[in-house]
Amino acid sequence: MNDKTKLADLRKSYERGSLDVDDVASDPFAQFGHWLNEALSAEVPEPNAMTLATVGPDGRPSTRIVLIKDYDERGVVWYTNYRSRKGRELADHPFAALQFHWVELERVVRIEGKVEKVSDAESDTYFASRPLTSRIGAWASNQSEPIPGRGTIVAKAAEYGLKFGLNPPRPPHWGGYRLIPDRWEFWQGRASRLHDRIVYEQDGNGGWTRSRLSP
């Protein structure tokens, strides 16, 4: 049996839960909080990890894993280098999609919307809470830019460590983004590939409509 045949034969029956329009919260932020808390309680690996999808000026999409650091009724927040590929793409096209995949719970959450930078004060507060090595790393890394080898980034980290000591300030090119959702989808795996999909969309009056999608 070759590798391609093995891939084609992979199967899993999803039978851990169910989801219906009448079961979910009227507000998607509340529903997200409920599911996130369940993922945390279940101790799934990296429950805060989410895929971020952006689009470049040429229309080509790109994805990467980032970590959620905050959320409230304003949106979902993560932090990164503004000069990175994702930062440059968001500067040109300030819309994105996020996806959480909690495999052990057979759940996916998809979020779409406009993206904006968080305030300097929010970025400063979060940056100050990071481990010292991470704060130094924010200075050392020209994220997404080619380097000749790992020694380059290690040397730059040492250089900035000597320069700033225990109190590196937040780099001006580093900070937070907030995705302001206008669409959410909550996916619960079900048997026979008849999955449950509940979508929330803005109704134009500050509220949300809920509907079921075909799997």
Residues at the binding site are: 11-14, 64-69, 79-80, 85-86, 126, 130, 134, 143-144, 187, 193-195, 197
**Non-local CB neighbours of 102 within 8 Å, separated by 6+ positions:** 35, 39, 42, 44, 47, 108
- 40: tokens are 């945390």
**Non-local CB neighbours of 159 within 8 Å, separated by 6+ positions:** 140
Pairwise CA distance, residues 84 & 95, whole Å? 16
* Greatest C-alpha distance within the chain: 59
Give the containing element (helix H, strand E) for 202. Answer: strand 196-202
Pairwise CA distance, residues 50 & 110, whole Å? 9
Single out the catalytic residue among 83, 88, 183, 193: 193
Angle at 34 between CA 30 and CA 39, to 5 degrees: 145
CB count within 10 Å of CB 92 equals 11
Pairwise CA distance, residues 176 & 117, whole Å? 6
Pairwise CA distance, residues 87 & 54, whole Å? 9
Say whether 193 is catalytic. yes
Catalytic site residues? 193
